[in-house]
Structure formats: C-alpha cells, structure tokens
Amino acid sequence: MFSRGIKPFAIAAAAMTAISLALVFFYAPLDADQGFIQKIFYVHVPLAIVALLGFVAGGIFGVMHLRSGDRAWDARSYVAIHISIIFGCAVLVTGAIWAKAAWGHWWLWDEPVLVSFLVVFLLYCVYYPLRFSIEDPDRQARYSSVFAIAAGAFVPINFAAVRMAEAFTHPRVLSQTGGSMPGEMRLTFIACIVAVTLLFVTLFKLELTAKNASAQLSRLRRALEPEAAA
C-alpha cells in the first residue's frame, strides 16, 4: 500500500532536482547585493516551506488516527514529522551559512523569522522523547497524535504572528511589499519548491514502505516462534 507510486515520484524528484539545479546555476541571475551566496536561498527557503507544511501534515494525520483508530495514520504522522525535522536541520544549517556570508553573523536573536522557526523546530524535537517514552503501542500512538495535532496547529498561528511582526533583517520572500523577485528568480524559486516537495513525498513513501515491511517481518517472526520452539 505504501510503496505504490514510489518509482514515479523518485524519477520526478530526480528530474526536477536536476532541472532546478540547472536553473539555479545557469538561469537565475546573480543578486545585485549578495552575489553568488544568494543562490543558497533556492535551497534554504523551499526546505523551510516544505518542512513547515510537513509538520502541519503530521497534525492532520494525527487527527485521522484519532478519528479512525487506524495505526497506519499514526505511521504517516510519525514519518511526516520525522522527515520535516530532517529538513528543519538542513534549514538551520543553510540559514546559518547564508547569514554568516550575508550579515557577518551566524545567528540574529532579534529577528522574528529566525527565532520562530527555531522555536517550532525545538518544539518538534520533543516529539521523539514523548513518543518513545511510552511502551504501550496504542497509548504511544494516541499521545503522539495529540502532540502532533497541538504542535501542527501552532505552526500556522506562529507563522501568522511572525508575518505581522516587524522584520529587522530577514527578507520576506512571500509578501507583496517585501520586494518582488525578477521573473527568472521567481521561476527558479517555484521550480525548487516543486523539487523539494517531490523529494519530501518520495522520502515519505520510502520510509513508510520500509516501516511497513519491518512490521510485517516482526509479525511473521512472532507467528513462527511457537513452531520453532516446538
């Protein structure tokens, strides 16, 4: 069930990634102020957008699990959050590199966008100790779903609050007043978002397939244990 469509998504992700890299390095113009280092924007921002959407998806899957009781929805919620945390690590690393090159500092604590993403990231880091501190599988799934729903609801609220806050340094790329990108940059940016989204979906389906296969193998081993003991 989970493996359905992995190959087309993987091919699409690889092709779109190659196209996006070609656009980044050979089509999009150099930024007038930052020069070549600005091209990390095409990785940093799409990763951040997809990671935040992945956190919200984890909350939606948590709702589906609580409503249906189907553990498959809990697996989807866990994997969505897991991959989003990995993408979040990449966001923080690429953001720090960009900040150091552009502003001369690895981090700015008075910038709402930076701090808000760090808060969301650290919030979801609590998900792992909460989940794996519960041994009973059913309680683990329920409590994890509740956390995913609460944290997922916080993401858009946090995003809206930051959008209303005063921006000090970090550019606002998704606003009409924060400076418009030229056509070449905008096309490249959209292509990079599509590529990162396809990568997320491919990794999502791949990890779900691996976890489902591992669970099936464990069930077979438990079923064969009495025969082996006899």
Left if phi > 0, otherwise alpha if psi is -120 to 50, otherwise beta: which for 7? alpha
pTM: 0.84
pLDDT for 29 equals: 85
Give the model confidence (pLDDT) of 54-66 as tens digits.
999 999 999 999 9
Give the model confidence (pLDDT) of 139-198 as tens digits.
999 999 999 999 998 888 877 766 666 555 555 555 543 456 778 888 999 999 999 999
